[in-house]
Amino acid sequence: METLLGAALPDATTPFGEAWAISDRPEAQSVTAAGLSLHELWTNHREAIFGKALLDAKNPTFPLLMKILDACDDLSIQVHPPASMAAALKGEPKTEMWFIAHSDPGAKIYAGLKPGVTRERFETALQNGTVAEVVHVIEARTGDCLFIPSGRVHAIGAGLLIYEIQQNSDTTYRVFDWNRVGLDGKPRALHVQESMQSIDFADFKPQVQQIEADGTLVKCDYFDVRLCDQAGVVGETGECVTLAVVNGQISVSGTILKAGDFALLPACMDAKSRQVTPANAASQWLEIRIPA
């Protein structure tokens, strides 16, 4: 985040692995220059900002959480609960996607199970400390995208800078942490029981997403994410679109956005103001929409 995106980290001595860029969580609120929180916009100005299509949405908070993840070490192997199990486990369901903005040579992502791995074999691996041997491994490349539906066991390997678009949830169950200790010298807490109830044991060998002709990376019930690099008008009046710059810089309505910046284009913005102009051919950004 610091070397590639120019982010000013709050503390030079503390490792920071996440930046919550667009967030409507009680513990972390995105706030406008005018001092309005994302929650206030969602609650009190929904039609003007998010459009009529989302006016009757039942979500009490803005339904997405958008992050940048900076993995300098292998992150824990984990899973998020599916909607069918989340309430019983006292958690929130989470489906997410990753866009790899940068990958060091040899970096890996872990997702799903190797073919033939059963619940019993997974339990044995837990007992033996060999969970990494039963999880499917993908060689990560810059520009790859991976869809992580709830229930898919996964982990981010070292050397990856990732943009994550997800449901507005902060429930993560760690099932394996590479037999290591945390910053305090003690093993980090695991959530084996919750994980075993959440993992989809029929999820074998998932692959990276194939980009569609219109730039679509992922289109699901929770988000529609496209990769863009051409000048043009983003969306239409009445539609809310979030932009996340992943390479270079772009200009929108007189504002310069660089890699690492996120911007929410409100529904009330007119067509002329929605013109996006990339600085050069290397500029890329994600367009993120909430399905009505």
Catalytic sites, residue numbers: 174
Other beta carbons within 10 angstroms of residue 162's beta carbon come to 23
Contact call for residues 249 and 258 (beta carbons, < 8 A):
yes
Element (H, E) at 220: none
- The shares of helix, strand and coil residues in the chain, as percent rounded to the nearest 5, are 15, 35, 50
- Interatomic CA distance for residues 149 and 94, integer angstroms: 7
Please report, for the chain, how many H helices and E strands are present, in that order.
5, 21
- Interatomic CA distance for residues 224 and 73, integer angstroms: 29
Look-up of token digits 């710059």: 245
The residue count of the chain comes to 292
